[in-house]
Amino acid sequence: MSSSQVNDISLPPLSGPMLILAALMIAAANFVAVLDSTIANVSVATISGALGSSTSQGTYVITSYAVAEAITVPLTGWLASRFGTVRVFITALIMFGLGSALCGMATSLTTLVLFRVFQGLAGGPLMPLSQTLLLRIFPKEKTAAALGLWSMTTLLAPVMGPVLGGVICDDYHWSYIFFINVPVSLICAYAGWMLLKRYESEKIRMRIDTVGLVLLVIWVSALQIMIDEGKDKDWFSSMEIRVLAVTAVIGFLAFLIWELTERNPIVDLRVFRHRGFGASVVTMTLAFGAYFGATVLTPLWLQNNMGYTATWAGYATATTGIFAVVSAPLAAKLSTKFDGRWLVFAGVMWLGSVTLFRTHANSDMDFWQVALPLLLQGVGLPFFFVPTTSLGLSSVDEPETASAAGLMSFCRTFGGAIATSVVNTLWENKTKYNRAELSGLVDQAGHYAASLTGSGWSAHQAQAQISNMVESQAVMLATNQLFFSIACCFVVGALAIWIAPKPTRVADTSQAH
């Protein structure tokens, strides 16, 4: 019997050094896939300048990856069933490494975004399949350890991304933020195949829902492009934006109708009939979108308004990961013993409270005044992420676990992509509005300008000083206003979890592709 025909259930889990090596390899693969969702965050300005485009256009480097990743996540279950879990995982790793190499060699923003799409398409299956394989190779009694390791890499990678991105951009060349993935991907692919090929799942010939896939790509892409381009084209005064909006709405409605009536849908929307799953997805999407939005906003604010280099903006952002790593194993363990709704509520409310505290930020803050709230924020991350996943998957029927996991991953990833675009758009719009408001209020009597000119400044220099001060405070106000909106999203997400009934079982997440 070949390895591809072996039923993975009959094989014993790994143990000893082999288990440690395989776990580290799978965790590293998951880490680089999630890392690339944020590694470009602090590098947008550098990449944009190097490739001759605006910072606003540079955010496409972030959103193109996230959208491509979101599109392939729902396909993961079908791919794993059709070609085998291990084979898909290893192939995705190799393609991810190839996509990373192409990104590093890009010579224009257009080609970089194109290669980021390719990289995202390959990276999409890595996160759910890494969870599946970790739970497959760990003994049942160590499920909490497997979940803790997976959650730790999933949560740590987004906060480590800005640090690596910042150091590489400041000290080396932006292309290395992509090149560093290549050796990791190839080494993990080789080691993974050697260690995991005997755990290959049984292959089932399944028809793919081509119509559903096409409709998914159409409405997701149209919505994302509309949000990305809207701020530059004055929104609905532009024919292009109106066409994209209509395409997104019609595509989404057609997708809903098709998927609810298709026998083997690419995204099984019928799992939303379970109240616990629906509540978990709402909480996951809102909270992860809010968290990701704040993760994107922080380095933009620090670099554009506070004079931070990419490296120091990354250091500040990365402090979130310190307590997240410490509390991740505890959150995984508690999620198997307590009502997950309380853990989720406490974790998300903690994130919202810390973000609300950040609305009092000012342009005179030192590094630790910026970093301390981010450090404290890390405590709540695992208590939101791990129990929400467990609660959602425990709410569906056993055969629906794989579909539910794929759908939850899609909503989480797509929520992060939309949040990136929305935060970028609102930040620019609020800055413009605040600048206009402050310009009419600052130094109306001309006393400050007079004192500057009296100190030897020219009239032009005095005007430039006042203009810079107005711009700085307009950005600071816009940042605090956005932090308030993000805090509100956290609160709504925390309250939404109470729509879920009390869980009656723990999910068998080993089925989750």
- In three-state form (DSSP H/G/I as H, E/B as E, the rest C), the secondary structure along 444-499 is CCCHHHHHHHHCCCCHHHHHHHHHHHHHHHHHHHHHHHHHHHHHHHHHHHHHHHHH
Query: Of 382, 341, 385, which is closest to residue 499 (Cα–Cα)?
Result: 341
In a structure prediction context, what are the per-residue pLDDT tens digits for the chain, which is 513 residues long? 333 333 444 567 677 788 888 888 888 888 888 888 778 777 777 888 888 777 667 777 877 888 888 788 878 877 888 888 889 999 999 999 999 999 999 888 889 989 999 999 998 888 888 877 887 787 777 776 777 777 777 777 877 787 888 888 888 888 899 999 999 999 999 988 888 887 777 777 777 788 988 998 899 888 888 887 777 777 778 888 899 999 999 999 999 999 888 888 878 888 899 999 999 999 999 999 999 889 888 888 888 888 888 788 888 888 888 888 788 778 877 877 788 889 999 999 999 999 999 999 888 888 999 999 999 998 888 888 778 888 888 888 877 777 787 788 888 888 887 888 788 888 888 988 888 888 777 766 666 677 777 777 777 777 777 777 888 888 899 999 999 999 999 999 999 999 988 877 555 444 444
Quick check: 264 and 75 in contact, CB under 8 A?
no
Two tokens at 30? 């998951």
Given phi > 0 = left and psi -120 to 50 = alpha, else beta, which region is 267?
beta
Q: Where are the domains of the chain?
A: 1-207, 209-265, 271-440+457-513
Q: How far apart are CA 104 and CA 93, in angstroms?
A: 17
Question: DSSP H helical segments within 76-209, as ranges?
Answer: 76-83, 85-104, 109-123, 126-137, 143-171, 176-179, 181-196
- Would you state the structure tokens that stand for residue 72, as one six-digit string? 């392939």
For 320-335, the three-class secondary structure string (H helix, E strand, C coil) is HHHHHHHHHHHHHHHC
Would you state the pLDDT for residue 373?
A: 93
CATH for 271-440+457-513, options being 3.30.360.10, 3.40.50.720, 1.20.1250.20, 3.40.50.1220:
1.20.1250.20
Rounded CA separation 284/274 (Å): 15
Q: How far apart, in whole angstroms, are the C-alpha atoms of residue 305 and residue 341?
A: 39
Beta carbons of 176 and 113 less than 8 angstroms apart: no
Q: Write down the pLDDT at residue 443.
A: 61
Predicted local confidence at residue 3, as pLDDT: 37
Burial class (CB in 10 A: 0-12, 13-18, 19+), 10: exposed
Residue pair 416/290 in contact by the 8 Å Cβ criterion = no
Euclidean distance between CA atoms 410 and 220, whole angstroms? 11
Contact 350, 493 (CB under 8 A): no
Residues 92/31, Cβ–Cβ less than 8 Å? no
As a whole number of angstroms, the distance between CA 260 and CA 474 comes to 47
Which residue matches tokens 């890392």? Answer: 35
* Structure tokens, 35: 């890392």
> Using alpha carbons only, what angle is made at residue 317 by residues 428 and 99, rounded to the nearest 5 degrees?
80
Q: How far apart are alpha carbons 52 and 109 in whole angstroms?
A: 8
Q: Alpha-carbon distance 39 to 57, whole Å? A: 17
The dihedral region occupied by 234, where left means phi > 0, alpha psi between -120 and 50, and beta the remainder, is left
Q: What share of the chain is helix, strand, coil (3-state, %, to 5)?
A: 80, 0, 20
Whether the CB-CB separation of 159 and 35 falls below 8 Å is answered with no
Q: Taking Cα atoms as reference points, which of 488, 415, 305 lies closest to residue 37?
A: 415
Q: Is 271-440+457-513 in the same CATH topology as 1-207?
A: yes
**The model scores a pTM over 0.75:** yes
Q: Tell me, what's the pLDDT at 130?
A: 85
Q: Are 512 and 131 in contact (CB under 8 A)?
A: yes
Q: How many residues are there in the chain?
A: 513
Q: State the DSSP string of 239-305.
A: HHHHHHHHHHHHHHHHHHHHHHH-SS-SS-GGGGGSHHHHHHHHHHHHHHHHHHHHHHHHHHHHHHH
Res 8: pLDDT: 41
CATH architecture of 1-207: Up-down Bundle (1.20)
Q: Which residue has the tokens 């932090």?
A: 483
Residue 110, token pair as written in the block: 């257009």
